[in-house]
Chain A
Amino acid sequence: MNTVNTVNTPVTRAGEARWALSNAGALVGRSLRHITRSPEQLMLMLFLPTMLLLMFRYLFGGAIATGGMSYVNYVIAGNIAVSVTFNATATSVAVAGDMLEGIVERFRSMPVSSPAVLVGHVAASLARNLVSIAVMVGVGLLAGFRPVAGPGQWLAALGLLVLFTLGVSWIAVLLGVLAKTVEGASGLSMPLVFVPYVSSAFVPPGTMPEALRVIAENQPVTPMVDAVRALFLDQPVGDSAWLAVAWWGGLTLVAVPLAGVLFRRRSAPGSR
């Protein structure tokens, strides 16, 4: 007990920023470690994208007409979208666990910038989803997916998917913060999983009943999926890329500060 308090102390504003950054770094490391230790996260990261792709390629694919384009070429972008929203449930659960099981409270009694814990979860979510996307593309290639994108198009598609993943992850964080129980967190984020279903992810909206078609054509997943699909297949992207950036950039810009405010409110009931 004679090692004295040699903890560096943030005094200036810049010092505080460095402190928060260092905290976030440590907490990103923590969340990344969780991935390999959590069977649920591993399943969602590796098994789910494989199954989704095989299911839509071989089980449903034969019965869905997508106007000349092979179904696996059509559906892979949509499958990625569903995989991202599925993975979001794990993020909500992890955030709720930290909120409700004492970890966040411990951080609050420490000189720690506690919202950094949320940054850790989003970074881990991004890492998991990047692996999922790689798995999806890999399995897709084996199952007949034939992308014709150049390097620039791949990069653009990846950029869009990263933006989409960040947006969905922050929404998942938000729901995790709001959950009253850890089990409740997965229920709360479950509707996210179904958002891509009513979009152009699996079938062209033109084939849907009028009311659904209007929803599908005007919801944020559709331009993202359309743009990624067009980039993969070297087809004209049209407005979809910009719409996707506007939607998901906008949703992220709303979700991040909202998650921060709610985090502070929920982690410190009736106090600071």
Chain B
Amino acid sequence: MNGEHAIEVTGLRKAYGSVPVLDGIDLRVERGSMLALLGPNGAGKTTTVRILSTLLRPDAGTARVHGFDVERQAGAVRRSIGVTGQHTAVDGLLTGYENLVLMGRLFRLPGRAARSRATELLERFGLAEAASRQAKTYSGGMRRRLDLAISLIAAPPVLFLDEPTTGLDPRSRNAVWETVRELLTGGVTVLLTTQYLEEADQLADRVAVVDGGRIVADGTPARLKQQVGAELLELAFADPGAFHLAREILGQDGPRADERALRVSVAVEHPKDVRRILDLLAERGVDPDRLGVEKPTLDDVFLTLTGAHAGGGQ
């Protein structure tokens, strides 16, 4: 338990056959904090989690979790972690309560401790009423919460959440977020993977953006959003003339333009930015046909980040 980092990853590489999946990943996660690995499908997020949770051996590089080497001290790592995978692994034939007690017993909690811990977790995850129902009757959100509860049965100091809200409806997603936030107040270290910028923003202290098996950006959500913009103002124009003029006028704001759709989008931080932009255009007699304000997506993050790299890096 030396050092202030609960997770330390250096130069992690993994290939499946000749296809590289991880191409040198470096990560440090401070004890008691949450890092979000943000990236599209196939970026290497799940592979990273699988290596850190001892399910997969890396080809090269080292990884330490809670001070233990994932290859040489796999047993100690397993006793220090909880894992919630992309696919829920609950026993559908057992009730929610039985699932938790079974997992507690597998961790060799004494019977009474396993039972009281199970009750406590069901309570905390809003599953108390469903405790004696078979897990196969649970909704997707309930299963995910049960899965999360299972990963906490032995109160692990480090938790891996691999896309914990993928496929959930907004209400269940919010419920999962709530519980994850609570965990952090208890001093648990969390590594979260997600495809959603908003999720990383809502939960994590730091975000590492992964693409093609590499970390392409690393920082606080605020800094990342600063780079991308909190929101995007989308302007559509009626004719190519207005479109080209608008692009020229907004040039210094670094707009992204879609020539075919005659659309320009600009990052905005405040409502007054919208007025400023419309004023700028109006001064030169350009009026957009339509406008909309959208949250930046993972796509926008990548366009901005890779653009920034191409233009000379950070």
Contacts and interface: CB of A to CB of B under 8 A. Distances in A.
B313 interface: no
A34 B93 contact: yes
Nearest to A9: B79
B150 to A, nearest CB: 8
Given A33-B94, A102-B87, A102-B88, A111 B75 contact: yes
Contact of B105 (A26, A108, A271): A26
Interface stretch (B152-160, B280-288, B297-305): B152-160
A211 interface: no
A3 B87 contact: no
A29 B57 contact: no
Interface string A1-20: 11111111110000000010
A186 to B, nearest CB: 17
A268 B51 CA distance: 12
A103 B56 CA distance: 16
A101 interface: yes
Contacts of B80: 5
A254 B133 CA distance: 40
B87 A7 contact: no
A109 interface: yes
A109 B83 contact: yes
> What band does the interface of chain A fall in when counting residues whose beta carbon is under 8 Å from B?
35 or more
A7 B154 contact: yes
A63 interface: no
B102 A268 contact: no
A37 B93 contact: yes
A29 B99 CA distance: 12
A271 B55 contact: yes
A110 interface: yes
Contacts of B157: 5
Interface string B82-116: 01010111010110001000110111110001000
Identify the interface centre among A3, A27, A111: most chain B CB within 10 Å of its CB.
Answer: A111
B155 A4 contact: yes
A242 interface: no
B33 to A, nearest CB: 14
Given A34-B93, A109-B53, A102 B85 contact: yes
Given A26-B105, A111-B78, A271-B57, A106 B156 contact: no
A236 interface: no
B74 A105 contact: no
Contacts of B79: 5, 7, 9, 111
Contact of A110 (B56, B78, B94): B78
Interface string A23-39: 10111011001100110
Given A7-B109, A33-B98, A272 B57 contact: yes
A270 interface: yes
B106 A23 contact: yes
Contacts of A109: 53-55, 78, 81, 83
A29 B157 CA distance: 28
A5 B79 CA distance: 9
Contacts of B117: 3
A116 to B, nearest CB: 9
B59 to A, nearest CB: 10
A101 B55 contact: no
Nearest to A104: B89
Nearest to B83: A109
Contact of B91 (A9, A103, A110): A103
A22 B134 contact: no
Interface in B106-142: 106-109, 113, 117, 134
B187 interface: yes
22 contacts: A1-B155, A1-B182, A1-B183, A1-B187, A5-B156, A6-B113, A7-B107, A9-B79, A26-B105, A33-B98, A101-B89, A105-B55, A105-B85, A108-B55, A109-B81, A110-B78, A110-B107, A111-B75, A111-B107, A268-B55, A270-B16, A271-B56
Interface of A: 1-10, 19, 22-23, 25-27, 29-30, 33-34, 37-38, 101-103, 105-112, 268, 270-272
Interface of B: 16, 53-57, 74-76, 78-81, 83, 85, 87-89, 91, 93-94, 98, 102-103, 105-109, 113, 117, 134, 150, 152, 154-157, 182-183, 185-188
